[in-house]
Amino acid sequence: MLFRNVSVIGLGYIGLPTAAVIASRGVNVIGVDVSQHAVDTINAGNVHIVEPDLDIVVRSVVKAGNLRATTQAEKADAFMVAVPTPFKDNYEADLTYIESAANAIAPVLEKGNLVILESTSPVGATEKLAKWLEQARPDLTFPQTHGDNADIKIAHCPERVLPGHVLRELVENDRVIGGMSQACSEKAISLYKIFVKGECLLTNARTAEMAKLTENSFRDVNIAFANELSMICDELDINVWELIKLANRHPRVNILNPGPGVGGHCIAVDPWFIVSSAPDTAKLIRQAREVNDSKPHYVLNQIIEAAEQFKKPVVACLGIAFKADIDDLRESPALDITKMLAQQNIAKVLVVEPNINKLPESLTELGVELVSLETALELSNTLAVLVDHKQFKAIAPELVAKKAVVDSRGIF
Ligand code: SAJ
């Protein structure tokens, strides 16, 4: 076997599922994370993040001895870096976690090793990773100077799995493999072939970086189009949902769904990496970000207007997750709207979120209460639909007929 030991650096939403899936193929996987809590949790056969079925896979590979977590990097045949790449105040990508990962693995690197960057990255980040490794290990050769003959092979292979479907998409999705040389790409493909059933598509590192950013910007721009349409339709007294349904009957039109804004850790972030690399040219991509970022405020104003018709407004916010049928509150426009509404202090605010059993402190300290759907329907006079969870889509229309409804997801 070409890869007896694979090390995954960063055991988060991408790293842990990747580590577990590779381990489930009989490879010895060493997971590295700076969080002692994450390491202890995983070594006990548990998970510190929520993703369907991940707990089952992790438990079985830890028990079988194929996955072990540690805070200290160890020797391996391949290293896969899956650390966060947030943006800074000026929307430029913050590569500090990648640099720390480079410094963590540099001391244990050996001739013949493969290093993969999976983190979503601005164009040029893989070259930077290679430079950091080269600086730390002048005794080894790297592809930026030695091409195909380098001791260390380096590639960018962006993750592209959908939260909530990670285990399936990790295996089934096609992968873009961007090596710093042909030999780098080929070695990387042989690693992914261990667990990927989709096709491995070969390119260079810069194109692979841009491909990932492009995928999420494509989605952001298209959601922005839908969000802008929804606001235009409000102005013109047209039902945007009916409009989109009609327009989508054209064979070459496929408009996405308007919503309360764009959340999650990816789509609202990645387009900024393109904008900060090409600020004068990326006009449409920037504008889309701005439209989507403005949508929560727009929906908030609609809710306030609806609530103010009542002497004692009680608003039930349906959903605070960033999208349907998950418990993930990261960068959630629904959560932001609920918070901003509570801060206005114009109504009693109730939250229904079937996927969590405790509200974040940022809401409880404002007096917001988590209630059941039944209680919310009984006590509220204003309904704000912020997430299209399956439980909400099943609400009988007559139960909401007498309420003021702001339906940002078009479920009614
Ligand atoms: N949304 C809308 N209208 C739509 C579709 C989505 O308002 O028609 C909103 C959602 O409610 C949510 C946000 O957009 O707030 C993003 O949700 P999503 O399901 O589109 O995507 P994510 O962020 O969960 O995952 C994305 C995926 N990228 C693409 O689909 C192009 C996933 O494949 C990536 O791996 C992931 O980003 C990532 O890690 O980059």
* CATH label of the domain that carries residue 178: 3.40.50.720
- Per the listing, tokens 């600086």 go with 135
> How far are the Cα atoms of 62, 91, 96 from residue 55, in angstroms, in the given order?
11, 34, 29
pLDDT digit string, tens, across residues 52-100: 999 999 999 999 999 999 999 999 999 999 999 999 988 999 999 999 9
**Domain match, 264 and 368 both:** yes
Q: How large is the average pLDDT for residues 33-38?
A: 98
Span from the CA of 104 to the centroid of ligand 1 (angstroms): 31
> How far are the Cα atoms of 4, 108, 192, 331, 358 from residue 369, in angstroms, in the given order?
51, 50, 46, 20, 9
Domain count within the chain: 2
The answer to whether residue 209 sits within a structural domain is no
Q: Which of 160, 248, 266, 285, when mutated, tests ligand 1's pocket best, judged by the most ligand atoms within 8 Å of its CB?
A: 266
**Domain match, 194 and 231 both:** no
In 3D, which of 81, 116, 98, 120 has the Cα closest to residue 264? Answer: 120
**Domain match, 249 and 393 both:** yes
Atom of ligand 1 nearest to the CA of 324: 11
The answer to whether residue 217 sits within a structural domain is no
- Per the listing, tokens 């899956």 go with 82
Q: Which of 219, 254, 272, when mutated, tests ligand 1's pocket best, judged by the most ligand atoms within 8 Å of its CB?
A: 219
Positions marked catalytic: 212, 266
The answer to whether residue 316 sits within a structural domain is yes
pLDDT digit string, tens, across residues 370-382: 999 999 999 999 9
Residue 105 in this model has a pLDDT that exceeds 80: yes
- Which pLDDT belongs to residue 129? 98
**For residue 37, what is the enclosing H or E element?**
helix 36-43
Q: What whole-number distance in Å separates Cα of residue 15 and Cα of residue 32? A: 9
Residue 1 in this model has a pLDDT that exceeds 80: no
- Which pLDDT belongs to residue 50? 81
Task: Give 265's pLDDT tier (boundaries 50, 70, 90).
Answer: confident
**Domain match, 349 and 313 both:** yes
**Domain match, 146 and 232 both:** no
**Domain match, 151 and 274 both:** no
**Domain match, 398 and 265 both:** yes
The answer to whether residue 13 sits within a structural domain is yes
**Domain match, 228 and 158 both:** no
In 3D, which of 78, 75, 126 has the Cα closest to residue 99? Answer: 126
Q: Whole domain around residue 353: which residue ranges?
A: 223-407
Span from the CA of 367 to the centroid of ligand 1 (angstroms): 30
**Domain match, 353 and 297 both:** yes
**Domain match, 89 and 177 both:** yes
**Domain match, 235 and 300 both:** yes
Helices 205-236, 125-136: inter-axial angle, 10-degree rounding: 140
The answer to whether residue 212 sits within a structural domain is no
- Which pLDDT belongs to residue 2? 86
User: Is the Cα dihedral 216, 218, 224, 226 positive or negative?
Assistant: negative
CB atoms within 10 A of CB 341: 22
Out of 135, 164, 198, a domain closes at 198
Out of 130, 165, 198, a domain closes at 198
Span from the CA of 404 to the centroid of ligand 1 (angstroms): 29
Residue 221 in this model has a pLDDT that exceeds 90: yes
- Which pLDDT belongs to residue 109? 98
Q: Which of 156, 161, 162, when mutated, tests ligand 1's pocket best, judged by the most ligand atoms within 8 Å of its CB?
A: 162
**Domain match, 328 and 275 both:** yes
- Which pLDDT belongs to residue 167? 97
Span from the CA of 262 to the centroid of ligand 1 (angstroms): 8
Which residue's CA lies nearest to atom 25 of ligand 1? 162
Task: Give 327's pLDDT tier (boundaries 50, 70, 90).
Answer: confident
The answer to whether residue 203 sits within a structural domain is no
